[in-house]
């Protein structure tokens, strides 16, 4: 049995189309280390009108494949953006990359690191692998928040070539128990589903987390959210908006920690 759409905030009519590459911003590559299919996403986060916008430029879906093949496909897909200087690439992915061995007793992460080390003239890579994967519901909630936030703003857009990712965002549903109650697991009966949206979630959860924390580390970067109910002219805002301010010292207010990772 299955429940409602996991990524209910996605609107293909508004969020899928031609998504341009910008040479002014680094790439990110997020991988789901499955074998069949091996899936990953290439994207950028750019600044548009002083706001961050997530752009998914391409998807890699390789049937019955492996991590070395994914690296070679990444090399092929990104060649068009090479301008004679190394492309800056931030790598994200499944926590199992640190442990799972797919080739000659090397872990997936070791294979990816070795790939980038072979091409210092093409790439400058940074790695952001978690020690453990986030809870599924947390990851899905983060993706929904950038698909459509409380103010009605959409911050995530995918290129029309990302057909399988679009299917994930439209078709992935929650599992349910025999009584019809929704579980905190995604339905993966179709082997083609969940992998690309998982890869997207690993990136979004790491860069745009939505967890409230205590003020324990004043040297961290924090965002303080203030609830605003009226506009500058005094008119009521419905719904209210959250105004965010970046600071290094957490004062009073509702705090959300931003993990930028290294």
pLDDT for 32: 92
- Give helix 195-207 / helix 163-171 axis angle, nearest 10°: 80
Please say if the pLDDT value at position 180 is more than 60.
Answer: yes
- Distance, CA of 52 to CA of 46 (rounded, Å): 6
- Distance, CA of 57 to CA of 159 (rounded, Å): 5
Residue 211: pLDDT band (50, 70, 90) is: low
**pLDDT tens digit string along 62-104?**
998 999 999 999 999 999 999 999 999 999 998 876 655 555 4
The neighbour count for residue 67, using CB atoms within 10 Å, is 26
pLDDT for 227: 55
The CATH code belonging to domain 2-207 is 3.30.420.280
Strand order in the sheet with 16-17: 16-17, 156-159, 51-62, 38-48, 27-32, 87-93, 123-127
**Any alpha helices (H) in the chain, and if so which ranges?**
12-15, 67-78, 108-118, 136-147, 163-171, 195-207
Least confident of 68-77, 168-177, 186-195: 186-195
- Distance, CA of 67 to CA of 212 (rounded, Å): 35
Please say if the pLDDT value at position 41 is more than 60.
Answer: yes
Contacts of 17 (CB under 8 A, 6+ apart): 157, 159, 160
Question: Are residues 199 and 93 in contact, defined by beta-carbon separation less than 8 angstroms?
Answer: yes
The neighbour count for residue 233, using CB atoms within 10 Å, is 5
Please say if the pLDDT value at position 144 is more than 70.
Answer: yes
Least confident of 25-29, 38-42, 74-78, 258-262: 258-262
pLDDT for 73: 98
- What residues does CATH 3.30.420.280 cover in the chain? 2-207
Least confident of 157-161, 191-195, 214-218: 214-218
- Distance, CA of 261 to CA of 177 (rounded, Å): 37
> Average pLDDT in the 113-130 region?
96
Least confident of 66-80, 152-166, 236-250: 236-250
Question: Are residues 41 and 203 in contact, defined by beta-carbon separation less than 8 angstroms?
Answer: yes
pTM of the model: 0.77
- Give helix 136-147 / helix 195-207 axis angle, nearest 10°: 80
Is the pLDDT higher at 241 or at 224? 241
Please say if the pLDDT value at position 212 is more than 90.
Answer: no
pLDDT for 256: 38
Is the pLDDT higher at 43 or at 243? 43
Calculate the alpha carbon distances from 33 to 23, 92, 167, 258 in Å: 28, 11, 19, 25
pLDDT for 98: 63
Residue 106: pLDDT band (50, 70, 90) is: confident
pLDDT for 247: 38
């Amino acid at each position: 049995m299955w429940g409602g759409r996991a990524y209910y905030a996605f609107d293909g009519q508004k969020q899928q189309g031609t998504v341009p590459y910008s040479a002014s911003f680094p790439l990110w590559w997020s991988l789901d280390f499955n074998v069949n299919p091996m899936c990953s996403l290439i994207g950028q986060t750019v600044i548009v009108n002083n706001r961050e916008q997530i752009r998914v430029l391409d998807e890699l879906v390789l049937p019955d494949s492996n991590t070395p093949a994914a690296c070679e496909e990444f090399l092929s897909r990104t060649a068009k953006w090479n301008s004679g200087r190394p492309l800056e690439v931030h790598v994200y992915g499944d926590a199992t990359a640190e442990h799972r061995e797919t080739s000659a007793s090397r872990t997936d992460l070791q294979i990816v690191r070795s790939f980038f080390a072979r091409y210092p003239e093409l790439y400058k890579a940074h790695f952001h692998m978690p020690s453990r994967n986030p809870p599924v519901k947390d990851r899905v909630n983060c993706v929904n928040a950038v698909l459509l936030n409380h103010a009605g703003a959409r911050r995530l857009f995918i290129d029309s070539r990302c057909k399988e990712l679009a299917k994930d965002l439209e078709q992935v549903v929650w599992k349910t128990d025999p009584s019809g109650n929704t579980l905190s697991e995604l339905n993966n009966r179709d082997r083609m589903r969940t992998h690309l949206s998982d890869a997207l979630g690993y990136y979004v959860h790491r860069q745009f987390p939505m967890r409230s924390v205590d003020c324990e580390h004043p040297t961290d970067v924090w965002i303080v959210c203030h609830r605003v109910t009226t506009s500058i002219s005094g008119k009521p805002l419905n719904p209210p908006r959250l105004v965010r301010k970046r600071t290094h010292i957490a004062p009073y207010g509702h705090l959300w920690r931003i993990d930028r990772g290294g």
